[in-house]
Amino acid sequence: MPLQIRRGTTAQRLAITPLTGELVYDTTTGQLFVGNGTTLGGATTTGITTEDAQDAAASLFSTGSHSGITFAYNDAAGRIDATVTVAATGPFDGDLTGSVFSDSSTLLVDAVAGQIKGDVLSNIVNFTGSFGTPASQTTDASLAIRGTAIFFKDTYDATDATFFNIQQHHSTVDANPINIVRSRGTNAAPTAVVNGDDIIDITFTGHDGTTFRTAASITVAIDGAVSAGVVPGAITFRVRQGASISTVARIANSGAFESNLIGAVSGTTINVVDNNTITLGDVRLSQDGLSTINTNANLFLFANGTGSVEIENVRIFGTAITAANNTLGTLTVTGNVTGNVTGDITGSVFADNSTRIIDGTDGRITATSVTIGNTGYLQLPVYANGTARDAAILSPAAGMVVFNTTSTKFQGYTGGAWVDLN
């Protein structure tokens, strides 16, 4: 007949205190325990648990005598923590309190100042932590990296003229670029950008006495449809004008420079070099003049409102052409003139069939006939009397006709005397 001893789970075993010499079998762990009358659950007699092994190993480290290093057993975390208090040689893994030196005794990490003194030689250096702001960067460091923010020198140094310097030293014509990369998706699985996506916004910020505000910015963005091998771009320039940021210029993907205002940097002169030509739509402005690009196209110059167009001493106002300021100077027209002319004319006047109407050399009307419209009239020179007539016409010529208002007579000069004609 088999012998069966007292048995139960670990929880059941730990709930009793076996009698001295009483055997108890733990059905959970498969271990045999013997009672001593005082130990809850009995004392172990066979096997050893992981916890027992950890406790035994930790006891060796924590209670032993060591040189320059101490150990503490963290039973809850299941680990042994070590504190190194003297120089260590060789690889090290864990938390380190104190300065770090290279094999040549060069200081690499200054524990007192909290600074890395040595060079960091690595293909990739990852910086983690909270994102900083200019206001939170208070140290006078030449370069500080906090999270994804990079801060440069915090104070001005008159002896150090270079604020930020990128150097390349080689004999190749081409230089290594500074790449600013943008995609949609993720770094591991990038996807194509789309029209309107910004590639980079570069902002220039100043303090207004209360907070930092953007003074100007440069934006590079996608300007057009993106396809395989084609990523069209444009550059936009913005400046703060008062309380808002406004776009003042843009270089479109077509190559056009777009701006609402172009002014000279100094003075009032804007120089165009090389081809000496500016094209505005169908109008070409060059050193040779203003013209249209398309053959036989019309060129129009318009003034706004009641203004006029003035070209040196010539004023164009509405449908009239006069000397500048309307009263000063003489307007000289060379070539054919079609339409009405108001003002003094110097030179000959011809009809549409090239017949001379007025001889500009002697002032005579040379037309074979003069036709006056039904609503028009021909007015002769008028004088109050013969005295006034003779004072005005010192050298009369035969054929001259005037009107005497005193005698109410038309008078003609015969070549020797003035006679009444009616």
pLDDT at 249: 94
Asked which of 91-105, 189-203, 277-291, 325-339 is least confident by mean pLDDT, the reply is 325-339
At 157 the pLDDT is 65
Burial classification of residue 21, based on how many CB atoms lie within 10 Å of its CB (0-12 exposed, 13-18 middle, 19 or more buried): exposed
- Are 94 and 111 within one domain? yes
* Res 358: pLDDT: 77
Domain stops at, among 92, 116, 140? 116
Q: Which of 49-53, 76-80, 188-192 has the lowest mean pLDDT?
A: 49-53
Is the residue at 339 inside a domain? no
Nearest Cα to Cα of residue 306 among 315, 318, 289: 318
Mean pLDDT of 246-269: 87
Answer whether residue 80 shows pLDDT above 80: no
With 60 as the cut, is the pLDDT of residue 130 above it?
no
Q: What is the pLDDT of residue 104?
A: 77
Residue 350 in domain: no
Domain assignment present for 104: yes
Q: Which of 101-110, 220-229, 315-324, 403-412 tops mean pLDDT?
A: 220-229
Domain that holds residue 28: 6-47
In this structure, the answer to whether residues 73 and 39 fall within a common structural domain is: no
Q: Does 178 map to a domain?
A: no
Q: How many helices (H) and strands (E) does the chain have?
A: 3, 30
**What is the Cα–Cα distance from 23 to 32, expressed in whole angstroms?**
7
Lowest mean pLDDT among 13-17, 43-47, 258-262: 43-47
Same domain, 42 and 65: no
Asked whether the whole model's pTM tops 0.95, one would answer no
Is residue 348 domain-resident? no
Checking if the pLDDT of 413 tops 70, the result is: yes
Span 60-79, mean pLDDT? 71
* 3-state helix vs strand vs coil in the chain, percent to 5: 5, 30, 65
Burial 273-287 (b: 16+ CB within 10 A, else e): eeeeeeeeeeebeee
* Residue 391, SS3 per DSSP: helix
Q: What is the DSSP string of 107-163?
A: EEEETTTTEE-S----S-----SPPP-GGG--S--SEEEETTEEEE-SS--TT---S
CATH number at residue 30: 2.10.10.30
Give 75's pLDDT tier (boundaries 50, 70, 90).
confident
Domain closes at, from 93, 116, 139? 116
Residue at 401 is within a domain: yes
Instruction: Tell me whether residue 391 is in a domain.
Output: yes
pLDDT above 70 (res 14):
yes
Residues 38 and 69 in one domain: no
Find the mean pLDDT for residues 214-243. 95
Pairing of the two strands 309-311 and 184-185? unpaired
Q: DSSP letter at 386?
A: H
Cα–Cα distance for residue pair 324/311, rounded to 1 Å: 8
Inside any domain, residue 349: no
pLDDT tens per residue, range 267-326: 777 777 777 777 777 888 777 777 888 877 887 777 777 777 777 667 766 666 676 665
3-state secondary structure of 104: coil
Q: Tell me how many domains the chain contains.
A: 5
Instruction: Please say if the pLDDT value at position 131 is more than 50.
Output: no
| pLDDT mean across residues, the chain | 79
Say what the pLDDT of residue 86 is.
55
The pLDDT of residue 371 is: 74
* Weakest mean pLDDT among 65-79, 150-164, 226-240, 276-290: 150-164
Spacing of C-alpha 123 from chain mean position: 32
Q: Which has the higher per-residue pLDDT, 44 or 394?
A: 394
Q: What is the mean pLDDT of residues 125-130?
A: 57
Instruction: Please tell me which residue, 209 or 320, carries the higher pLDDT value.
Output: 209
Least confident range of 45-59, 121-135, 256-270, 391-405: 121-135
Secondary structure of residue 392 in the 3-state scheme: helix
